[in-house]
Amino acid sequence: MKKFLIIIFIVIFNSCNLYLDRGKSVRTNFLDFNYLDNFNEFIYKSKVNASADNEIYQSTNFSVNLPKKIINWKIASNEFYFEFDKKEIIYIKNEFNDESKTNNWHLQEINNHEIRNKLISYWNIRGYNEVLFDVSKKDRVSKIYTNGKTYILLYNIRQKNYEHYLDLIKSFKYLKN
């Protein structure tokens, strides 16, 4: 009986701490991550720019709504990773500031090779097996939502969550620098 109670306590304790968005919202000088009741609002407002060969590339600031139950997130340069239960991932690659941004968003199919190229660095950091990149699972959806300058990958999304996740990421807005 004592072992059973200890196991129940561990399961409850771990499940309560599993989601990062149950805590306080995150506010820094370059981002706000607001943990709201029904969704999360991510606002990127960096003033750090990139440079190469005397060219300066301004960061592109944006806001986007994301689902609840985030278990991990990471920023690497102009790439953003948000992981949810069962390895559902929303990946955003935002090109540096470009005057040719459009609002002509559309969905695209994506193959395993493209997914691997976009997620491999995050995958390695998390210690995941590359075999999991397979997008042919019948109860999962993987698609790109893009306007040609910003790429939002919905990876491995459970069919029952897909419409909700897609509706949330359609909130993506560019912000003035």
Per residue in 2-37, pLDDT tens?
Answer: 554 444 444 444 444 588 888 889 998 889 999 999
pLDDT at residue 57 greater than cutoff 90: no
Total domains in the fold of the chain: 1
CA-CA distance, 119 to 83, in Å (whole number)?
A: 11
114-152: per-residue pLDDT in tens? 888 899 889 888 888 777 666 667 889 999 999 988 999
Range of the domain at 150: 2-175
pLDDT the model gives residue 158:
95
Ramachandran area for residue 63 (φ above 0: left; ψ -120 to 50: alpha; else beta) = beta
pTM of the predicted structure, to 2 decimals: 0.83
pLDDT the model gives residue 161:
96
- Residue 165 half-sphere exposure toward CB, CA atoms < 13 A: 27
pLDDT the model gives residue 15:
46
CA-CA distance, 86 to 150, in Å (whole number)?
A: 25
Higher pLDDT, 4 or 53: 53
The type of residue at 164 is H
